Structure 1
Amino acid sequence: MIERSVIKRHGVKSFHIVAHSLGSILALALAVKYPAAVRSLTLVAPPYFPVPRGEVGTQYVLRTVAPRRVWPPIAFGASVACWYEHLSRTVSIVLCKHHRLWELAFRVFTLYRVRTYLMDGFFCHTHIASWHTLHNIICGSAGKIDKCLEIVRDQLTCDVTIYHGRDDELLPVQCSYAVKAKIPRARVKVVDGKDHVTIVVRRQKELAMELEEIWNRKR
């Protein structure tokens, strides 16, 4: 969709890529497909787990990203979405079918002072997309991330920057260091006191300034 609705539609010849969490996998695939066009690549909390020799990539990554546990809540949600397909699809149908009701409730609850982009973005998905976003990206890409990282390392010359919250309970900081091990020129910035969501949501201005610095270096 990014390729069809943005790159090809508008004839984009060069661009910067910024991606968070599972979006990092899509970002790597996009960078590999357009190596000459990428000016910089910024990954925030990338879900990269090197697969040990002899392990099946999909199963290993699923067990690592979404172990069957109930705490913290973000890990519980990942576990249900990945391992209990029918239950997670049912929840997605209920949430997404009635997204206008949930959006109104959140706006009223926050007294219209806080625009809940995070919730709006989720509820506006179709129920299929909201489930596949987590499940199929992991399943479909677990065995391909290593190859993408190697291509970025060997064939791309763009800057690679990685941000990760030190308190991330879903994806540990080791994920970002594992990416750096694959791409030695990558710069890793670990932010204290931030988790998987607040690495972006509660530091928008700081992140925007940091991105501007990255982009200005590659004008």
Structure 2
Amino acid sequence: MGSIIALALAAKHSKSVKSITLVAPPYFPSKDGVEFTVMNRLTPKRLWPPHAFLSSIMAWYEHLGRCFCLLVCRNHRAWETLIKRLTGLRELNFMILDLMKHTHHSGWHTTHNVLYRGVKLMDQNLETLMKSRTKVHVVMGTKDKSVPPDCANNMKKKFPAVELNNIANAGHRSVVFRREKDFAEDLFKIWENAAASHHHES
């Protein structure tokens, strides 16, 4: 969802944005019914593995999702304590903590309103950025299981000016995590090139 929101903000303020870097954007060509295409591709109805099962509940079954959120979110401190005792860990991964703090609003409404409906506007927003000559960079892991790698490739096909950096053997999380230093260095290069290009055009 971060890429969809960032793209919308960049398009809204296109005159002020020199470059934008999208990490694993869930890009699907805008057309009728694209919301259901995204739901089926990103959150298919699956029983396994556990995270896929939870995602499918949150995407397809509102009442079950509401029950899950009430059970987990309202009692997240108790769950955190229980998990720490079971695992022997003093600190839990921030992603686990975030998951347990999701409310029904963030888990259901935000997903449907931003992710599934937001993809319809990605083409329009990209066209706006292309017209304003904003540099668009995409970073994608070749082994991403959350967002199909062909999303980035399809964006590149439709918008050839997009600069695509496929990271070999990286997944949805490891495209940033575990390679933080490389990712930061890539961002600095992108920003420096965007600033130099803007100065040259001026």
Q: TM-score range by the shorter chain?
A: 0.7 to 0.9
Conserved 8 A contact 1:48-1:175: yes
Mapped to 1, the partners of 2:78 and 2:184 lie a distance apart of 32
* One-letter amino acid of the structure 2 residue matched with residue 46 of structure 1: P
The C-alpha deviation readout for 1:181-208, integer Å capped at 9, x for no partner, is 2322211111122211222222222212
Equivalences for 1:117-156 in 2 at 5 Å? Answer: 117-155=94-132
With over 3 angstroms needed to count, the CA separation of the structure-2 counterparts of 1:106 and 1:36, relative to structure 1, is farther
Mapped to 1, the partners of 2:19 and 2:76 lie a distance apart of 35
Given the alignment, which residue of 73, 77, 88 partners 2:65? Answer: 88
Post-superposition shift, 1:163?
A: 1.1
Mapped to 2, the partners of 1:40 and 1:118 lie a distance apart of 28
The C-alpha deviation readout for 1:78-131, integer Å capped at 9, x for no partner, is 32211111112221222221222334455563633x652222333344332133
How many residues align? The count is 194
Equivalent residue for 2:89?
111
Post-superposition shift, 1:73?
A: 4.1
Equivalent residue for 1:17?
none
With over 3 angstroms needed to count, the CA separation of the structure-2 counterparts of 1:130 and 1:199, relative to structure 1, is same
Given the alignment, which residue of 4, 15, 23 partners 2:2? Answer: 23
Query: What runs of 5+ residues in structure 2 fail to find an aligned partner?
Result: 196-202
Mapped to 1, the partners of 2:10 and 2:163 lie a distance apart of 17
Equivalent residue for 1:198?
174
- Greater C-alpha radius of gyration: 2
Equivalent residue for 1:68?
45
With over 3 angstroms needed to count, the CA separation of the structure-2 counterparts of 1:98 and 1:70, relative to structure 1, is same
Higher relative contact order (CA 8 A, sep 6+): 2
* One-letter amino acid of the structure 2 residue matched with residue 28 of structure 1: L
Equivalences for 1:31-46 in 2 at 5 Å? Answer: 31-46=10-25
RMSD between superposed Cα atoms in Å: 2.3
Equivalent residue for 2:199?
none
The answer to whether structure 1 residue 187 and structure 2 residue 163 are counterparts is yes
TM-score by length of 2: 0.82
Mapped to 2, the partners of 1:103 and 1:217 lie a distance apart of 44
| Identical columns (%) | 36
* One-letter amino acid of the structure 1 residue matched with residue 12 of structure 2: K
**Secondary structure in 2 aligned to 1:26?**
helix
TM-score by length of 1: 0.77
Query: What runs of 5+ residues in structure 1 fail to find an aligned partner?
Result: 1-21
Mapped to 2, the partners of 1:188 and 1:159 lie a distance apart of 11
With over 3 angstroms needed to count, the CA separation of the structure-2 counterparts of 1:68 and 1:51, relative to structure 1, is farther
Given the alignment, which residue of 79, 82, 86 partners 2:56? Answer: 79
* One-letter amino acid of the structure 1 residue matched with residue 8 of structure 2: A
* Structure showing the higher helix proportion among its residues: 2
Post-superposition shift, 1:64?
A: 2.5
With over 3 angstroms needed to count, the CA separation of the structure-2 counterparts of 1:74 and 1:44, relative to structure 1, is farther
